[in-house]
Each structure stands twice: as C-alpha cells, then as structure tokens.
Structure 1
Amino acid sequence: MNDILIQDTIAFFKKSYGTEPQKIVLSPGRINIIGEHIDYNDGYVLPAAIDKIICFAFEKSNANTSKIIAIDLDEEFEIDLNDPIELSEQVWTNYIRGVIRQLQIKGFQFEGFNCVFSSSIPVGSGLSSSAALECGFLFGVKELYNLDIKPVDIALMGQSAEHWVGINCGIMDQFSSVMGLENKVIKIDCRTLEYEYHDANFIDYSLILFDSNVKHALMTSAYNQRREQCEEGIAILKINFPEVKSFRDCTEEQVHSVKDKMSGDVFKRSLFVVKELKRVIQACEALDNGDIPTLGKLMFETHQGLSQDYEVSCPELDMIVDTLKTEEAVVGSRLMGGGFGGCTINLIKKGHEERIKAKISALYFDKFGIKLKIYDVKISNGTSLYKNS
C-alpha cells in the first residue's frame, strides 16, 4: 500500500516540477495503546507509530519562495520566506506555515523548496495526521538543508506549530510520530519527556481500528471542561495531602477520602485519572511479559472508565466495545483519543478478523445506519528518509 503511495508521490513531483526529488520523507500516524486523557495531567502515555503515513517529496527551489502541493486535496500554495507568516483560511496550510515559523523563530537558516505530499492516514479518524504533517515537513526541511535539529526537538516544534494553529494538544502525537520504532510502544512521561520502549509482541494478534464514522460536537467544549475539572480535583487533593504534587502521587484511597469535598463530576474525573495512570504501568509490565490477554483486560477497563467516570464516550463507541466484549477472540477494546466519536482500538486473535469485522459492521449499520470504517494497522518506525532517497 505504502509502496504505491511513495511511487505515486514521486511521479507527481516529477510531473509538477520536471525534476527528481532530492529527499523523500515518510511520516507516520499514531495509535495510543493505553493512557487516555492523562497527558495533560502529568501522566504517562503508551503510543506507537503505525504503517499509515504521509509521504513527502522535496527539492531546493533555489529561491526564497516555496511551493507546496497537497496531492490528495488537489490544492497548493506558495509562500515567500521573507514575508511575515500569518494564519490562512486555507486550513491545512497553517500547519506548514506554523512549522516554517518555528524554524525561523529558532534561528535556523534555510532557503526555499518545492514539496508535494500525499497520505494514507485517514483524516479525522484520530490517528494524528496533523502531527505527521508537521513532523514530516519539518524533518524534510531539516534533511534538505542539513539543519542540526534533534528528533525530540522536531516533536516539540511540531507541537508548538499546532498550538499556533489553535489546537492546544499535548506532546504525545508528535513524539510518537517522530520517535516510533517497529514493534515497540513508547512509554512517555508527559511531565519530563523521559521515554522508554517496550516490546509490542502482537504476533498472535491483529491490531484493528473500528472507525465509528461519527464526531459529536461536544468534543472541544467537553475536553476543556475535563481539563478544568481535573485541575479542580488535583487542587483539592494538594490542600488535603501536601506531599501530592500531581495525580501520579495519589492513591485511589486518597481520592475517596476527599470525595465529600469534590463535586460528583470532579470526583469521577480524578478517580479515572489515578486509575488510568496505574493501568499504564500495568500495561508495560504485561507487554514486557508478553501477556497480551492482561493488556487487553486493561484496555476494556480503560473504556469502562472513559465511558462511566470520564464520560467522553458515546452510544456508537459503547456499542462497538460492548459487542466486542462478548467475543472470545477479542482480548481488548476501547475508545482511542478524545472521545465522542472516532475509533476504537481492538486486539483480535489472528484467524478471527474477517468474521468479527463482518459481524460488527452489520450490527453497527443495523443500529445506527452508519457504515463502519475499518483500518488494519501495524506498529512501525517513526519519521524517516525513504531508503531510496
């Protein structure tokens, strides 16, 4: 699949500019195995890069102007590197403008370039196509002009570019897009940016995403509200337990002991965060032991928490997970991402994939009249140069 994408991108570049590209860059989307809604609570996350990618082709333009073509959108734009960089109504271009702005703010010296890109990452499915766009583009300019930028700084600059566009994301998406390794998950400490790799030995299992094909409008307002509720919860805990600096210092018992000092919602949000932090640690132990059924059990528990305590699920996602829970061949399933739509991430025993795909698709369509989208994914390497470039 990606081989065809790469060759088509190179061919489009040649047709557009009449030359061979100087650099080909592949930048992946990501999944998160477990650790949801705790990146902004000083928590740990467990993401991985996947084999859905954006392919970029680059050359120096030998001018101060740069031309960038989005093949899939059939759109393009030009930018003069001498002009002030401002937000545009052409939304996808803002991620690229943000990256160029970051490079300029950091004082890197580079000139114009020509670029085309195309993607196999489904947009709007929660697989972080924007992070792949930012980090792949930045990596390409770095390679083209031999800029001295460390991988972790590519991730941080990509995050800053996204903040400039107006999306207050954590570091997980960009970090996993840049730092991913084949068949490894990355445990990232969102407080310190320390990270470690754990084997993801899914040899007997398939990772399949079921895309609900819905996105409820609650997402943004609820996300901001959950952040505020967590801030209120940790503030109450700090007052009552001076040794507590963040939720990772808390026990479930401590949260229960101050229940009467919290609103019902703040209590539920706080309890979810403390439990989810523990689940990430347990998930790493399960992976290290090759114990995929235990990992799956933790994924089901996370979904229950996200649905009941954090209240960011929706009927469509709950239906998918509840149905899969009755299947012996499904060892784990949960909603992935912000919630209120998007994908579930599912671990299914090999040999049962097609039957389960057919069953859940039919049931889902019967209940909601919506076609389920299905993505088979493998854990792969982070942003890199294509070997032939």
Structure 2
Amino acid sequence: MILSAFYWLEKLLSKTNPIKQKFVEIYGNHPAVIEERLNSSIELVKQFIKTYDGEKNILLTRAPARVNLMGRHIDHQGGFINTVAINKEILIAASSRNDSFIRVHNIHNKQFPSFEINPNEIFDVTSYSDWKSFVKSKEVLNFNNSKNGDWSFYILAVFYRLQLYLSDKKLKGLDCFVSGNIPVGSGLSSSSALGVAFAKALLELNNIDISDKLLIELTGESELFLGFHGGKGDQAAIISAKKGIVTKIGFYPFHIANNTQFPDELELIIAYSGTSAKKSGPEKEIFNQRVACYKLAFRKLQKIWAPALEAQHIRDLTPERLKLTTNIIIQGLYKLPNRPSRTEITEFFDDEEKPYIKDIFQSHNDPGEYNLIGTILFGISECVRSESFHQILEQKDFDKMSKLISVSHNGDRLQNKDQITDITKNEEPLTHISGYYGCSTENIDQMVDIANNVPGTIGAQLAGAGMGGNIVVLVKAEAVENVVTALNDKYYVPNNIPYDAHICIPISGASILGKQFS
C-alpha cells in the first residue's frame, strides 16, 4: 500500500517498536545503524514534502552498496562472486506522475544538481529492435559524449532499458527525492545502487512486477547506455543480498550457488583511498580495455589451443572443467601473443571475424598494447579462487582465506605488470597464481600493505573495479582498532588525506520500504 508522505513521516517519526523491528529485519540488531537509517529516511521524506507535496502518495526504495570478498573482474566471464551488501545505501522517495517526465532532486544538491527530463522527448527507445542497437546508435553515442558523467544518465539508462523491455506499455514518470551515503567513485557501486533503487520505484509505481532475476538482467544491461561494458555482478549482489550472509552468485545462467554466514569472529572494514574511481572518463577506458583483453585472448585461444574450443566462457578454462593440469593450461595460455598491438591483433583473425574485433576496439581508445596472457591468467585463476571461497568461509580456514585474498589483490598490483614471466614449470595450484589485471593504484597498494602488516588482519584488497576508491579489509574483531589506527597513522596523516575508514555490517538487499511498513 502506498500512502501519503505526511503519513510516512508520522510513522517514521514515531520510532515505535514495530517500526524499529522492520529495520532490524533489514539491518540486523544494530541499534546505532538502525537509528542512523531511520533518521536518514525521516530527513528524506521531509525533503520530499518540502520540495513536492506532503499529500502525494509515496514509496521509499533502498539499494545498498556491495562488497565482493572474492571474484573480482570475472562476473562478465562467467565466474562466481562472493558478496555482501553493507550499511551504505541509496534511498529514494518517489511518487507517480500522469506523464512521462522524471523530476529528481538530491539531498546533496551541489554535487548532484536537480533535473527534470522527459526521456521520450530525447529518444523513442521503442523504435529500436533491441537494446544493443539502441546503445550503439550514433544518436546515443553523440548524446553521451555531450554530457559525459552527468548523474541523470544513470536514471535515463534504467528508464530506457525498462521501457524497451516493456515496449507494449508506456511508462509513466516519477517525482523523486534521492539521498545516499555511498561515496561516489568508492568502488562500492553507488551508481548501480542508484539504478536499482530507481528501477524498483519505477516498476512499482507503474504496477509492474518482475522477478529479481529479470531485474538483475535489465539493470545490469542498462549500463551499456553509459558505455560501460561490464557484467551484472553489482546488480546481482545488491538485489540478492541477505542480512549477515555472504552470497555466492554464478552467471550464465544467473543463480545463487550458496549462502554462507559471515563469520562472527570477523569484522569488515571499508577504507577510502582519497581517490575516486568513477564509471566514466579514463577509468571507464581502462575498465573496457581490460574486458577487451579477456575477449581477444579467449577468441584467439580458441583458434590456437584445442582444449579451449568447446569453452563458452573464461570460467570454463579451469583445471576442474577442462580435466587438465594447471601446467598444461598455462602452457596453452603461453601460445597467445605477448602484448600485441591492434594491428597485430587484427592480423590474427579471418575477414569474417573482423567485425567482431572492430566492435571490441570501439569500446575504448587504443592503449598501444594488450596484455592478453596476464589478463586471461588472472581471470582463470580468480575463477578458481572464487569457486572455492565459500568452502573456506564455511570452514573458517582463515590462513587459506588470507592467502587467496593476497594472491587475488596481487593480480591488480601495479608493480606486478612485468612479472608475468615463464611459469610453465610452476608447481603452484592455480589459486596461488595472480596473473595480471592491473586495476589498482599506488595508494591502494600502500593501504593494502599497511593493513596486511597488522596482526589479526585476514586480508586486504581492492574494492570494486579499481582505479581508486576503497580497500576492503577482513579482520579479526580484536584487531579492528589496530588496523584503523595503522591506516590513520601510516596512510591518512602522512598523505594529508582525511581519515575515512569504517566498520560495516552485512545487511539485506534492495527493497521497497513502503511495502514493509504497510
């Protein structure tokens, strides 16, 4: 039931036990977190009333940040991710309109200016046959280039993807007020959370019910409108999360493989590096270039190495799936060319494959060379690590967990760029081989090393797609204060960066608050 903004304000302000119990169901028995989230919801509704009309019927949607404990950069390659949602969220108060206009205001209005748009006046998305044709059209590409990084694009992306899917129904617009405490460019998927929260409001207020699986598919695909060629792991984590649980999620097809209790002995620390990592500009270039390396390496490997021929995704190239030893797989990878240029890559493929290669190149600027071996080696080894992570978590084998997290982050370390030497005689298991993806920064690496040097730290690693943002630290509860003190004394203070480290808790995934309180 959707009721007036005045009603919801009165209900939230009461802070009665039934209201608090609903918040406990989302956030767990954490009084300070519940109080903070209640106050944020109250302030959001107050701002909605001030900006629009308290008599308007509203709902509140929420979508949390996500943290991936193992399985970085591989959701789009069919690998598993092991994720939690944390108590950093996007909140939206929304009411329906009788036209197609979308009006959006943000509590942080200086950083996120208000806007009013009619998506249908910009593009008639229903005139396109499919989503890829739309996002690759000259009109969309020119439009995006003219307003790169505008936060309204994340709203438009979701609207257009849902409208094309629901082409037989004209979606009505919304009046929205947005708030959030997920730092932008933090590697915690603030933009994906915004998209999910808006999608839930748009669908609910248009009386449309779809499955979580389909919502993940559509919101994940919406990011192609932004020129971001990633997977759907962020949306899957945000939507599928359960309170106090690490969720193991698989792709192609999407499925929940396992739910494991987050260990009581551990705490989760998020620490910001002071440098943002946005899904636009140079960061998007690097991200798309790495994905291109995956695609090019996989395509070439299928032409030159017989065991790869039947594989559908990079996750299919693991020892368990191929029934081959690690050494044989690595020898196969070393058949790939070493850091080829675009010209050399083009020469590898037949004429009928050239359009596919051209399409890959169009996603990013020419980096000069493509580290095919390092990238695919990281991808395969990360797939192995992520597949076994839930068992290590269940067994609480913290030594093994520490090793896996360390090796995983090493694959993103900048200093590892030239360390992919001949390892064909290496007897190490694939879980202990990093490869090279290279999406960390010097500051991130410094923070990881500081945290890892504190006794009681299980593992520190890059959060998200990289190029800045946060680190994620799994640490024994008794060592939390030592870790945050070390980060402050050895990183924040010497680098003149404001202290920004927080203990986070695993909470429930995206939801509509109005449904829970009615």
Instruction: State TM-score, norm by structure 1.
Output: 0.91
**Equivalent in the alignment of 2:116:** 78
TM-superposed deviation, 1:64: 4.4
Contact kept in structure 2, 1:218 and 1:340, CA below 8 Å? no
Whether the 8 Å CA contact 1:209–1:345 is kept in 2: the answer is yes
Q: Is the 8 A contact 2:301 2:336 kept in 1?
A: no
Distance in 2 separating the partners of 1:65 and 1:310 = 42
| Cα distance between partner residues in 2 of 1:151 and 1:297 | 34
Q: Return closer, same or farther for 1:297/1:237 CA change in 2, 3 Å cut-off.
A: same
**Which letter does structure 2 place at the counterpart of 1:321?**
V
Hey, which of these two has a bigger chunk of strand by percent?
Answer: 1
Q: Residue 144 of structure 1 is aligned with which of 205, 209, 212? A: 205
Moved more, 239-248 or 354-363: 239-248
Deviates more, 1:75-84 or 1:160-169: 75-84
- Per the alignment, residue 16 of structure 1 pairs with 51
1:31-42 alignment, distance < 5 Å: 31-42=67-78
Structure 1 distance, partners of 2:256, 2:402, is 22
Q: Provide the secondary structure at the position in 2 that maps to 1:19.
A: coil
Q: Deviations over 1:118-150 (max 9, x none)?
A: 001111101111111111111012222320221
Counterpart pick for 1:53 among 68, 76, 89 = 89
Residues 351/254 of structure 1: CA separation in 2 closer, same or farther (3 Å cut): same
Q: Map Cα deviations across residues 39-69 of structure 1 (whole Å, 9 max, x no partner).
A: 2323222222222111111122344434221
CA distance in 2 between counterparts of 1:64 and 1:38 reads: 37
Q: CA deviation at 1:367?
A: 4.9
Q: Which residue of 1 aligns with 2:65?
A: 29
SS, match of residue 186 in structure 2: coil
- Say whether residues 1:160 and 2:198 are aligned partners: no
Aligned counterpart, 1:262: 337
User: How do 1:171-320 residues align onto structure 2 when only pairs under 5 Å count?
Assistant: 171-215=232-276, 219-238=283-302, 239-244=304-309, 245=311, 246-250=313-317, 251=319, 252-258=326-332, 259=334, 261-263=336-338, 265-307=371-413, 308=416, 309-320=436-447
Does the CA-based 8 Å contact 2:48-2:177 persist in structure 1? yes
Q: Residues 64 and 112 of structure 1 are in contact (CA less than 8 Å); yes or no, is this contact kept in structure 2?
A: yes
| 1:47–1:172 Cα contact (<8 Å) kept | no
Counterpart of 1:68 in structure 2: which amino acid? V
CA offsets 1:12-57 (integer angstroms, 9 cap, x no match): 1111122154211111111111111222323222222222111111
Q: State the partner residue of 1:115.
A: 176
Residue by residue, what CA displacement relative to the aligned partner does 1:53-104 show, whole Å, maximum 9, x if unpaired?
A: 1111112234443422122125322233653447573811111122222232
Larger radius of gyration: 2
Going from structure 1 to structure 2, the CA distance change for 1:144 and 1:236 (only over 3 Å counts) comes to closer
CA distance in 1, matches of 2:72, 2:459: 15
Q: CA deviation at 1:249?
A: 2.9
Partner residue in 1 for 2:161: 102
Between 1:362-371 and 1:213-222, the stretch displaced more is: 213-222
Classify 1:242/1:82 alpha carbon distance in 2 versus 1 (closer, same or farther; 3 Å). closer
Secondary structure of 2:466 counterpart: coil
**Residue 448 of structure 2 is aligned to residue 321 of structure 1:** yes
Q: Give the drift of 1:361.
A: 1.5
List alignment gaps of at least 5 residues for structure 1: none
2:477 is aligned with 1:350:
yes
Identity %: 25
CA RMSD of aligned residues (A): 2.4
Secondary structure of the 2:121 match is: coil
Give TM-score, length-normalised by structure 2.
Answer: 0.70
Match of 1:345, as an amino acid? V
Matched, 1:170 2:297: no
Q: Deviation digits for residues 137-181 of structure 1, max 9, x if unmatched?
A: 110122223202211222222223221122222101111112211
Judged with a 3 Å threshold, the aligned counterparts in structure 2 of structure 1 residues 229 and 63 are, in CA distance, closer, same or farther, namely closer
Which position in structure 1 is the counterpart of 2:500? 373
Q: Do the aligned partners of residues 278 and 101 (structure 1) sit closer, same or farther apart at CA in structure 2, a change above 3 Å counting?
A: same
Q: SS at the partner of 1:29?
A: strand
Which 5+ residue runs of structure 2 have no aligned equivalent?
A: 1-35, 124-139, 320-325, 340-370, 417-435
Name the count of aligned residue pairs: 389
